[in-house]
Every structure is written in C-alpha cells, then in structure tokens.
Amino acid sequence: MAPILTADNGNGPVDLGPVLSIFDPVHIGLDEYGHAKRVPLIYRNMLIGGEPGSGKSGLLNAVVAHAALSLDCRLVLFDGKRVELGQWRRCADAFVGPSLDQALLVLRKLQMMMDARYDYLEECERRKTIPEDVFRAYLVALDELAYYTATIGKKTDRDEFSMLLRDLVARGRAVGIIVIAATQRPSSDIIPTSLRDLFAWRYAGRCTNDSSSDIVLGHGWAQKGWSANTISPNNPGAGLLISESGSPELIKVAYLDDRTCAAIAAYAADLRAVVRDNMPTGKPVLVAA
C-alpha cells in the first residue's frame, strides 16, 4: 500500500507527503569505503550471526527502526532476551518473549495468513505482492534464535518451531513476509542447514574463528580471505555482509542508542496509532486524536 498520509480539510484529501516504505532499500550503515550501504529487504530474508557483543541486535534494531517507520509494514517480534527489541513493542502486531508456546502460536497464525495471502494472489492471477497491494508486508524479526530452536521447551516443539520458520522463510517472500533472524552461531544444531541456506542476506559480525564465519557466510569464503574473525573485537557493529549473489563486503552498522531508539519507537507508535486503514481508497489516513 502506498505510504501516503492524507488529511481531509473539507475540500477532499490532502497528501501529507511520503514516509518511509519497506519497499525502499534499508540504510544499515557504511561500507568499507565510506559509502552508505542500503539493502533492499522486500522479497528477501536476512540471517545475522556473530559472537556475543558483536552487534547483532544493533543491526536488527536498525532494520526494525526502518520497518517501524514504514507504515506499509507490520512488525512481529521474537526476542528471547525481551530487552533488545522490547522498545518496539508498542509498534508491533505481536511481541513474543521467552515462551515457546506463544512463539509457536504466532508462527502458526503467520503460516495461516501466508496461505490465505497465496489464495488471494492466486485469485488475482499475480505472483507477488506489490507496493499498492491491499495487504501489508510483515517484518518478522527474531533475536537469539537459538533460544527458541535449541534451548527452551520440548524437542518436538522446538522442531515444530524450526519447521514453521522454515516454511515462512521459504514461501513468505512473495507475499511480503520478511524474516530476519539473529543468532550467535547458526550451526546445524541451532538451525537446520536447509533453513540456513535459504537466507539471501547474510551478515557475520565478529566470529571467534574462521569456521564460524563460514557457517554464516557460506562455505569457502574464509579461504578467499573473507573471514569475520579478522574483525577487531573492539569494533562492535562491524561485519561482513553478503547477498545471494556477489562477494562479501565489510560494513559498519549505524547504531541507535537507547535514547534514539526509544524516541523513534515512540514516534512510530504514535504514527501508527493515528493512521487508520482507509480501505475504500486504499490509503492510510490521519484521523483526529
């Protein structure tokens, strides 16, 4: 849906200008040569790896901040630690803390929604969602993925979680479901290799060794000189970013400190609260508080 706010002054709607859109590339920081790094996220997924304190949650927050300010995107947040994404709770459609049952519930609902969307697209004879669509994109952000897939709950539940997530990652792209998952070392005991290899964007913050770096980026990059092990431990937020095609790039994530994050989240929540769907025209409108 076009992210245009309109207000009614009696003589018909007045466009208030664009806000951000999830269909825009997301600014995540600077590349090695000092140029801004923007990554298109729609129709793609992102995997974030790296040792503790390497800035994974920082990148996740940068992406979620963009999505929160994009009125054509809804948020579903999973955070085993609760505080990393907790500031965005008011902007989110669903916020899952450290509870596997709740996580499974939300994922099942997302899966049902995805199927319904495919029914709709099939009916319209379309193959993917577009910016002016009747439904919004969803950003599904998961921090500390290993908590849900390998730590809490029963094995059967954890396996179901992996399976549902895999389905979302594999099939969600075309209906606007973007999955961004952060975990420390996405080895096969944390997430199935078949799931790991579905992520288009991969970001490796500092890793303790070359093999950990290869697990995130894909096999063989360390041998070609691209190892996240070479990143200084004193430089959190620096990491290697790689997309489906092309070679890795060293980037530094733009950091949102707590105050900035809180201010953006509050603004986004207010914006979302006053903007209601106006289904007949297909545009969000501002309603009086």
Partner 1 sequence: MASQKLFGTTPVGAVAVVEPPVSQWYARRARVAFICVSLAAWAVTAVVLSAFVMPLLAVALGLAAGLLLGLVTALVVRVWPVLRALWWWSLEITVVAAVVAGVSLAARVLPSWLLVGVVIVLVAVLVLVGPVRRFLSAWSWCVVDRHRLRLYFAGLARSSGGGRSGLLPLMLWARPTPAGERVWLWLRPGLDLTDLDGKAGRIAVTCWAKQVRVVPASERHAALIRVDIGRRDSLAGRIDSPLALLIPALRNTNTNADVPVSAAVPRIGLNLADMPDPPAPEPRNGRR
* Rg of the chain (C-alpha set): 19
Say what the alpha-carbon torsion angle 146, 148, 150, 153 is, to the nearest 10 degrees. 160
Which of 56, 66, 117, 206: binder of partner 1 (CB under 8 A)? 66
Q: Give the integer Cα–Cα distance in Å for 207 and 251.
A: 15
Binding of ligand ADP at residue 55 (CB under 6 A)?
yes
Residue 233 and residue 224 in contact, taking contact as beta carbons nearer than 8 Å: no
Region 56-85 residues binding Mg ion, contact defined as CB under 5 A: 57
Give the C-alpha separation, 205 to 6, whole Å: 41
Provide CB contacts within 8 A for 164, sequence distance 6+. Answer: 104, 107, 108, 110, 111
Beta-ladder partners of 75: 139
- How many residues bind Mg ion (CB under 5 A)? The answer is 1
Partner that binds at residue 74, options Mg ion, ligand ADP, partner 1, none, CB closer than 5 to 8 Å by kind: none
Pick from 50, 153, 248, 284 the residue near ligand ADP by CB under 6 A.
50
Number of other CB atoms surrounding residue 53 within 10 Å: 12
Residue nearest to ligand ADP (CB): 237
Which of these segments, 97-105, 113-121, 207-215, 217-225, binds partner 1 (CB under 8 A)? 217-225
Choose the one of ligand ADP, Mg ion, partner 1, none that binds residue 20, judging by a C-beta under 5 to 8 angstroms depending on kind: partner 1
- Burial of residue 69 (CB within 10 Å: 0-12, 13-18, 19+) is buried
User: According to the binding rule CB under 8 A, does residue 204 interact with partner 1?
Assistant: no
Binding piece for Mg ion, criterion CB under 5 A, among 49-57, 165-173, 194-202, 216-224: 49-57
DSSP string over 112-162: HHHHHHHHHHHHHT-SS--TT-SS-EEEEEEESHHIIIIISS-HHHHHHHH
Q: Could you tell me which stretch among 121-129, 152-160, 193-201, 243-251 binds partner 1 (CB under 8 A)?
A: 243-251
C-beta closer to partner 1: residue 155 or 224: 224
* Interacting positions 201-220 with ligand ADP (CB under 6 A): 205
Only one of the segments 29-37, 54-62, 87-95, 275-283 lies at the binding site for Mg ion (rule: CB under 5 A); that segment is: 54-62
* Interatomic CA distance for residues 181 and 200, integer angstroms: 12
**Between residues 85 and 94, which has the closer beta carbon with respect to ligand ADP?**
85
| Rounded Cα distance, 112 and 220, in Å | 38
Q: For residues 204 and 228, is the Cβ–Cβ distance under 8 A?
A: yes
The CA distance from 146 to 160, in Å, is 14
Among 4, 41, 42, 69, binds partner 1 (CB under 8 A): 69
Q: Which residue number, 82 or 90, has a Cβ lying nearer to Mg ion?
A: 82
Least distance to partner 1, CB of residue 240, Å? 11
Residues that bind ligand ADP (CB under 6 A): 50, 52-58, 205, 236-237, 253, 255
Contacts with Mg ion, residue ranges (CB under 5 A):
57
For partner 1, the binding residues (CB under 8 A) are: 20, 27, 29-30, 32-34, 62, 65-66, 69, 223-225, 230, 232, 235, 237-238, 247, 250-256, 258-260, 262-264, 266-267
